[in-house]
Structure 1
């Protein structure tokens, strides 16, 4: 959730929080962590922005109401929709924005308090300002009184199609007006027992600006809540006294417009000076498995917020959720993640735990000490691929990125789109979806790590249109909106692509062919060797190409991509002797089949080295499978 860059004070706090891991020496030597068997095939995650996915309304009025612009429902995600998702090789669906967050709509007849537009972003609200962790967004239900049952039915429907279900958990912050109607008996709301006379207490859920009431931000750039439409609660006031720290760590009673003013920061026992007030996790536990971590936390006295989030994730695990995507995980202490994730894995050892972390020097802490399964590979691979697509970077940059993460490559989830990032087809990214196809092939095949697709990516949705709070190039997450290219694939609920343009259908067909291969290929869970460096002096090969090998004892692949949007190339691609020896190939001819085009090529091995004569059209990739 990168709403805006962190302001300096918030960035300093974030650094203090992530440093509060609590590493100490340990008198006993833990047993080495057992080697965990890797999955037999690559995981493919489909991120669905649930509010938008099933919406067929096409009005798209800026600041449009739910009635004007429409909203997708749980029940719109039909068997046909799920089959269309499954066609992309998908193993996991991340239903984004399903938890009950602050919304402008009036659901008071269901006992839900009205939310104040002065602390809501957009008209539909931010999915990362959660109001009730034990319920789901009433906007998404045909009958809001039955919203949990409707979501439960969607989870069951997804499971019947062989799809596992992921939802967001946002431990760093919650909505300013948190009030849970769905909480189980005996559960207290966040902040219910806080001592508001002090800035900090270990078991307070929030930090307080003592003696000062909250003030709404000064609006910038002509912004007004609801676009200036009159509303009884849009009066420039929000009752909160004393003020709480804002979600990104801003400590002023009046946050800046670019702060996460709709949320409040959760306290995990990190004092305002950055020191920690919870049991230290020994550094040696980087070598321990989740059972060892779980045992470490037994009997430990931990802050109240830790226990609250433990109860939340176990509630949803029991509900049938198969995993979680953690928003802004790096703003919460690593030791907490050890505690939370080890409790989840005790109940569901196969839970899929994905975290948003943007500081590469912290990756290994969050994986080994925090016991995350996967992290975003954003700051390294995604940013580099984007720069290559835009002509700002050479493919040479991929080599050191992959080498530096060789020990954790399986845990770095790859993507080219998500709800935070610009759409590929937007003018500020690639201009057209096809310009990123080489990067998509590389991203999906480079590692054993999961690959993620964002809804509408497979049909080239450009993310244009000013929705209100959400601006063009990113599909809005704050407003009610229709997503045109995706709607053409939906085809009024048939989910058969019947309304797609010829270009959109061709793109969808390419994604289906690629992603089905990715999901089924055994070699993509095997070894990797780049051959880019060995080919940099090959005639016809340059720094707009990238090539590598993937293999295991079942399958051998050669992958080569041309990122050039205008120039094709002809080359004799070298496969060095070292790799030929690893493949145990004698001199001779070996048939290759291009999994993307169906063409037949050949690998010639002579004197222990290999050559593949091939042509690459502009933006063409080849996945050559040895027969």
Structure 2
């Protein structure tokens, strides 16, 4: 189980060097109150370390090609700047996660020359990359006790010296599970309330000690449903089945875009589709993630390798307001934050209906993935309160959903 402060919370993934024109901790710190106002609770930073120059891809290199695990990229700011970022976030009630890249390093990381035995070698004795696509990084070999100890100490360093609140662990499925178990034990001994998020979808990573892992399937199914509304019917069954099998004790991080995926706004062509997407994401069980710029419908995904700045002037303020409304609704609605999930049968298949339920609240969600209006009955229901307007609605007649329409109803 994740710590209580993280359950159902909304995560905001922030790429420091692209988030502002300055691309610094100081500039990002100035904008933290905006994220608090939106209702964000957790800030997830892409890696903030110096990037490798050898075999670098692009002009800046990937933040996932790390030259020094215990240093900050000087282009982002100083240690004092980073401390101020974290202290400001904490003062605003925000939590900060770092991205821990344990599987590989940059080719010019000093560890390569100081500890070549910490790396994976081919039959010719050469250090190799994890795969053919990741040519800018060198693969680590966790057979080394000293490497495992170094990584444990490094993780504790950022917790103890800077007060971060947890980690997202990149490509954690490529690192042996016994390491993660020892890593978790060491971190939890230092700070029991840390949040540990695995970039994987395997249940074995939960058993290794992670509290939250990725939902890797829903995002692609959602995009397919926008293209073919009749596929909307396949979105929820895998989620509901997994929750039932784990007695609703399995926490997933769910997303519709992140640094590895194209912008959602490239698929959603209308404001109604973008609101539908936000409604779907922010009413699912788990921890929803918003990638910086998603909340205003930006279409350009910032490059991981070259200079790229988010152009906030192209953002849609009305979409930002809608995200804000939904996030605050999630914060104040026990059912949306913690509730169980039950799928209701609907016809046509382009409409999905589901409930989120706790002992104190029941919320009905209706989402139409088709551009065409839909009509559907709600048997056994007489009234419901529209959570977006506060209006009490008569549900004895058939519900009318506009194209790409949605309803959030509190029901008895």
Aligned partners of 1:342 and 1:432: how far apart in 2? 47
Partner of 1:435: 273
Aligned partners of 1:36 and 1:435: how far apart in 2? 32
Aligned length: 407
Counterparts in 2 of 1:158-197, with a 5 A limit?
Answer: 158-179=89-110, 189=111, 192-194=114-116
Partner of 1:593: 385
Partner of 1:526: 339
Q: Whose helix fraction is larger, Structure 1's or Structure 2's?
A: 2
**Are the aligned partners of 2:229 and 2:369 in contact in 1 as well (CA < 8 Å)?**
no
SS of aligned partner of 1:389 = helix
Q: 1:482 to 1:549 in 2, by over 3 A?
A: same
SS of aligned partner of 2:404 = coil
Partner of 2:168: 325
Out of 78, 81, 87, the position equivalent to 1:150 is 81
**Are the aligned partners of 2:98 and 2:167 in contact in 1 as well (CA < 8 Å)?**
yes
Aligned partners of 2:310 and 2:2: how far apart in 1? 41
Moved over 6 A (4+): none
Partner of 2:39: 89
Partner of 1:516: 328
From the CA coordinates, give the structure whose radius of gyration is larger.
1
Question: What is the CA deviation profile of residues 113-143 of structure 1, one whole-angstrom value per residue up to 9, with x for unaligned ones?
Answer: xx34xx11111110000111111111112xx
Is the counterpart of residue 479 in structure 1 residue 362 in structure 2? Answer: no
Is the counterpart of residue 367 in structure 1 residue 206 in structure 2? Answer: yes
Partner of 1:377: 215
Partner of 1:312: 154
Question: What is the CA deviation profile of residues 243-294 of structure 1, one whole-angstrom value per residue up to 9, with x for unaligned ones?
Answer: 311133xxxxxxx5xx21110000012xxxxxxxxxxxxxxxxxxxxxxxxx
**Are the aligned partners of 2:335 and 2:363 in contact in 1 as well (CA < 8 Å)?**
yes
Partner of 1:496: none
Q: 1:481 to 1:366 in 2, by over 3 A?
A: same
Aligned partners of 1:418 and 1:166: how far apart in 2? 15
Partner of 1:217: none
Aligned partners of 1:100 and 1:597: how far apart in 2? 48
SS of aligned partner of 1:169 = strand
Aligned partners of 2:141 and 2:157: how far apart in 1? 21
What's the offset of the Cα at 1:40? 8.7
**Are the aligned partners of 1:93 and 1:165 in contact in 2 as well (CA < 8 Å)?**
yes
SS of aligned partner of 1:208 = coil
What's the offset of the Cα at 1:37? 8.3
SS of aligned partner of 1:94 = strand
Out of 565, 568, 571, the position equivalent to 2:376 is 571
Aligned partners of 1:415 and 1:173: how far apart in 2? 25
What's the offset of the Cα at 1:191? 5.1
TM-score, scaled relative to structure 2: 0.92
Alignment root-mean-square deviation, CA: 2.3
Counterparts in 2 of 1:318-467, with a 5 A limit?
Answer: 318=160, 319-358=162-201, 363-368=202-207, 370-378=208-216, 380-391=217-228, 394-406=231-243, 407=246, 410-426=250-266, 429-432=267-270, 434-447=272-285, 449-463=286-300
Q: 1:411 to 1:263 in 2, by over 3 A?
A: same
Question: What is the CA deviation profile of residues 320-360 of structure 1, one whole-angstrom value per residue up to 9, with x for unaligned ones?
Answer: 110111111111111211111121111111111111115xx
What's the offset of the Cα at 1:550? 1.3
Aligned partners of 2:330 and 2:255: how far apart in 1? 14
Question: Where do 5+ consecutive residues of structure 1 fail to align?
Answer: 1-34, 56-70, 103-114, 142-146, 180-188, 195-203, 212-241, 249-255, 270-301, 464-473, 489-499, 537-541, 581-588, 604-610
**Are the aligned partners of 2:142 and 2:176 in contact in 1 as well (CA < 8 Å)?**
yes
Aligned partners of 2:91 and 2:343: how far apart in 1? 39
TM-score, scaled relative to structure 1: 0.61
Aligned partners of 1:339 and 1:51: how far apart in 2? 32
Aligned partners of 2:20 and 2:294: how far apart in 1? 15
